[in-house]
Amino acid sequence: MPQNGKLKLALYWAASCGGCEITMVELREKLLIVDQVADILFWPVAVDAKYKDVEAMPDKHIDVCLFNGAIRTSENEHLAHLLRKKSKVLVAFGSCANEGCIPGLANLFDRQSIFACAYVEAPSVDNPNKVVPQQTTKMPEGEIHIPKFYNTVKTLRQVEDVDYFLPGCPPQPPQVWAVIEAILAGNLPPKGSVVGANEKTVCDECKHTREEKRIKKFYRIHEIIPDSTKCLLDQGLICAGPATRGGCGALCTKVDIPCRGCYGAPPHVIDQGAALLSAVSSVVDTNTEQEAARIVGEIADPIGTFYRFSLPASLLHRARLP
Amino acid sequence: MSNNGFEPKIVGFLCNWCTYTAADTAGVSRMEQPPNVDIVRVMCSGRIEPVFILKAFAEGADGVIVSGCHPPGDCHYSNGNFKTFRRMPLVEALLAQYGIPKERFYWGWISGAEAPKWAKLVRDFTQKMRDLGPLNWKSQIASKED
C-alpha cells in the first residue's frame, strides 16, 4: 500500500470489445469506493492520461494494472511491455487477455485475408481503389504511421510476464469486486494464480439435472426449446460447461442458453477445445462407426464451437499460415 | 528416400491389447518396417484424449497414428473403442480446420493377429509423410509470426 494509503491503479484495453470496461461500471456504487481507496492513474476509457504520462512514471510506480484485451497489434504489445515495466502487479483481466477470446478466432486467418475481407470484399464496403491500412503513409505534411497489425492474435501471457489471471467475458462484477477487496487487504494468492473464479467447472454451478448423457443429434440453439430442468448437453445442445472454469454462477445455463466457455479451461486442462471435443463426442449415442461419423459430422465449425474463447491459448495457437 | 532425405517423426498411440500386440509381433517376427514411429502404449484406444494428438503435432510430429481393437467385439473393455470412433472423425475435422491435412492423421483398427497389417501401415504411412515433407508446426508458426 502506498504512503498516502491510496492504491495506484491502472486499467488498459488492448484488442477487446469494451465489455471489460462495462464490468467496471457494473460495480455501480462500489466504483465510488474504488475512487476513494485508489488513484486511477491510467484508464483510456475514463481518465485523460496519455501514453507519454505512463512512460514518464518511474518503474513499478503503479500498484496494480488490470489489463484487458488480446495482443492484436504492435501498439497492444508495446503497452503490454510498458505497463509490465511500470506496474508491481499485472493482472490479465477478462477472456481476451487470458485466452484471446472472440478476437482470437481471427487466428483462423492471416493479416492479408482479414484486410481483404474487412476493407475490400465485405458487401457493405465501398472501396473502389482497394485501399487497405498501410503502416506508413506519405502525406503532404510528412509521413504518418499506424501500428502493425499482426498475423496472429496472442494472449497477454504469450508476450509478458503476468502475475494474476482473472477470466471471463466479461468477468462478473461480484468476482471483480472480491478481487479488488483482496488487493486492498493485501490478501492475494501466490503469483500465477487464477483469481475471481472457481476451481471447478460450470457444471458444478449449473442447476440443470444431469443424467447419463446420450446424444442422438446435435442441435443449434434456435432449433429447439430446451427443457429447463434437464442438462442442456443431454438434450443435444453443445454446452461448454464440462470444459469451462466455473465462477460466473452459470449465468447462461440459468436462462437455458448453453455455456460458451468464456471462463476458459478449468484447472489442469491444457487445451479447452480438445477437452470439450472429447466430452461432447464420446457421449454420442450410437454403436456403429458410420452413424457416429454422421452425428459428429453435423458439427460444422469445430474450432469456432470448441475454441470459441481460447484459440490463441490452445496448443496449436492458430490455423496454419498459407 | 525422397524429399532431400527427410525422415518424418511419427507418433503412434496404440492400445495395449490389440495394435500394440500386433506391433510387438511385427517386431519380434522381424517384419520389415522403418523406425520412424514412436509408439505410446495406452491401455485402451478409448483412453486417447484428443489433446494427446494435438500435443504431438504441436511438439513436432509430422504424422500421428491412433489404432485399437476392431469394433464392435474386440475391445478388451467391451466398448472402449466406441469412444474412439465417436471422437476421431471430429478430431479429423478439427485438424483440417487447423490446416493439418487428413493424410497426416491415421486412425483405425489392427488386431493382435494382424502384425503384417501393422508393418504395412508403418511402411506406407512413413512413405506418405516423406512425400508430404515436414509439418514443423512450431517453427512454421514462429517464422511467419509477426
Contact, A9 vs A40, CB < 8 A? yes
Q: Is the dihedral of CA A147, A150, A155, A161 positive or negative?
A: negative
Average of pLDDT values for A19-43?
92
The string over A43-71, giving b where at least 16 C-beta atoms fall within 10 Å of a residue's C-beta and e elsewhere, is: beeeeeeeeeebeebeeebbbbbbbbbbb
pLDDT at res. B138: 84
Give the percent of chain A with pLDDT over 90: 89
Contacts of B103 (CB under 8 A, 6+ apart): B63, B128, B132
Contact B100, B135 (CB under 8 A): yes
Please give the Cα distance from B51 to B57 (Å, whole number): 10
DSSP H helical segments within A154-283, as ranges? 156-159, 173-184, 251-254, 272-281
pLDDT number for residue A175: 93
Interchain proximity B94–A297, CB inside 8 Å: no
Q: pLDDT band at residue A126, thresholds of 50, 70 and 90?
A: very high
Query: Does residue A273 belong to the interface with chain B, where contact is any CB pair within 8 Å?
Result: yes
Q: With CB atoms and an 8 Å threshold, state whether B98 touches A316.
A: yes
Interatomic CA distance for residues B120 and A16, integer angstroms: 51
Q: Is residue B3 very low, low, confident or very high in pLDDT (cuts 50, 70, 90)?
A: low
A299 touches chain B (CB under 8 A): yes
Least confident stretch, A70-84, A131-145, A175-189, B131-145: B131-145
Selecting from B49, B99, B141 the residue whose C-beta is nearest the C-beta of A278 gives: B49
A7-102+152-184 is a CATH 3.40.50.700 domain: yes
Q: In this complex, do B90 and A282 lie within 8 Å of one another by their Cβ atoms?
A: no
pLDDT of residue B106: 97
Cα separation values, B43 from B22, B23, B61, Å? 14, 15, 22
Has residue B144 got a pLDDT over 80? no
Q: Is B93 exposed, middle or buried (0-12, 13-18, 19+ CB in 10 A)?
A: buried
Cell of B121: 501401415
pLDDT at B73: 87
Residue A2 pLDDT exceeds 60: no
* Complete DSSP assignment for A1-54: --TTS-EEEEEEESBS-SHHHHHHHTTTTHHHHHHHHEEEEE-TTTS---HHHH
pLDDT (tens digit per residue) in B86-128:
999 999 999 999 999 999 999 999 999 999 999 999 999 999 9
Interface probe with B: pick from A316, A317, A321, most Cβ of B within 10 Å = A316
A297 contacts on B by Cβ (under 8 Å): 89, 93
Phi-psi region of A247 (alpha: psi -120 to 50; beta: other; left: phi over 0): left
Strand locations in chain B, DSSP E? Answer: 10-15, 37-42, 63-68, 105-109
Residue B118 pLDDT = 96
Contact between chains at B97 and A320 (C-beta distance less than 8 A): no
C-alpha to C-alpha distance for A212 and A99, rounded to whole angstroms: 31
Nearest to A320 among B46, B91, B100 (CB): B100
Residues in A closer than 8 angstroms to B49, CB to CB, are 274-275, 278
Given a cut of 60, whether residue A130 has pLDDT beyond it is: yes
Partner-chain residue, chosen from B54, B82, B89, that has the shortest CB–CB distance to A274: B54
DSSP H helices, chain A, are 19-25, 30-37, 51-56, 74-86, 95-99, 111-115, 156-159, 173-184, 251-254, 272-281, 289-296, 302-306
As a whole number of angstroms, the distance between CA B106 and CA B109 comes to 10
Give the pLDDT confidence score for residue B142 in this predicted structure: 66
Residue B139: predicted pLDDT: 76
- pLDDT at res. A171: 96
**Residue B87: which residues within 8 A CB-CB, separation 6 or more?**
A277, A278, A281, A282, A296, B50
pLDDT at A279 over 90: yes
B2 pLDDT above the threshold of 80? no
What's chain A's average pLDDT? 93
Residue type, B131: D
The residue in chain B having the minimum alpha-carbon distance to the alpha carbon of residue A302 is B94
Domain ranges of chain A: 7-102+152-184, 109-150, 198-311
Rounded average pLDDT over A58-69 = 96
- Judge: A303–B94 Cβ closer than 8 Å, yes or no: yes
Alpha-carbon distance B85 to nearest alpha carbon in chain A (angstroms): 6
Averaged over A265-287, what is the pLDDT? 93
Whether residue B143 has pLDDT greater than 70: no
- The second-level CATH assignment, the architecture, of B10-144 is 3-Layer(aba) Sandwich (3.40)
**Which B residues 94-113 touch A at CB under 8 Å?**
94, 97-100
Mean pLDDT, to the nearest integer, of A173-196?
A: 91
Give, in order, the Cα–Cα distances in Å from A133 to each of A79, A146, A147.
Answer: 21, 8, 10
Q: A286 and chain B: CB distance < 8 Å anywhere?
A: yes
- ipTM of this predicted complex? 0.91
8 Å CB contact of B90 and A296: yes
Facing A320 at nearest CB: one of B85, B90, B98: B98
N-term to C-term CA, chain A: 51
Contact call for B87 and A277, based on CB within 8 A: yes
The predicted model gives A274-283 an average pLDDT of 93
Spacing of C-alpha B73 from chain mean position = 22
> B87 to chain A: which residues are within 8 Å by CB?
277-278, 281-282, 296
Q: Is A275 on the interface with B (CB under 8 A)?
A: yes
Q: What is the pLDDT of residue A3?
A: 56
Contact yes or no for B90 and A299 at CB 8 A: yes
Say yes or no: A298 contacts chain B, CB-CB below 8 A: no
Q: How confident is the model at residue A127 (pLDDT cuts 50, 70, 90)?
A: very high
What is the rounded average pLDDT of the residues A268-282?
Answer: 94
**Does the beta carbon of B132 lie under 8 angstroms from any beta carbon of chain A?**
no
Give the cell for residue B138. Answer: 512450431
Pairing relation of β-strands A38-42 and A7-13?
parallel
Q: What is the pLDDT of residues B4-52, one digit of tens each?
A: 789 999 999 999 999 999 999 999 999 999 999 999 999 999 999 999 9
Q: State the pLDDT at residue B54.
A: 97
Q: What residues of chain A lie within 8 A of the CB of B50, using their CB? A: 274, 277-278
Smallest Cβ–Cβ distance between A292 and the set B55, B85, B99 belongs to B85
pLDDT of residue A4: 66
State how far residue A141 is from chain B, nearest Cα, in angstroms. 29
The pLDDT value recorded for residue A214 is 85
- The span from the CA of A212 to the CA of B30, in Å, is 46
Reported pTM: 0.92
Structural contact between residues A10 and A79, judged by C-beta atoms closer than 8 angstroms: no
Torsion angles phi and psi, residue B33, rounded to 5: -160, 145
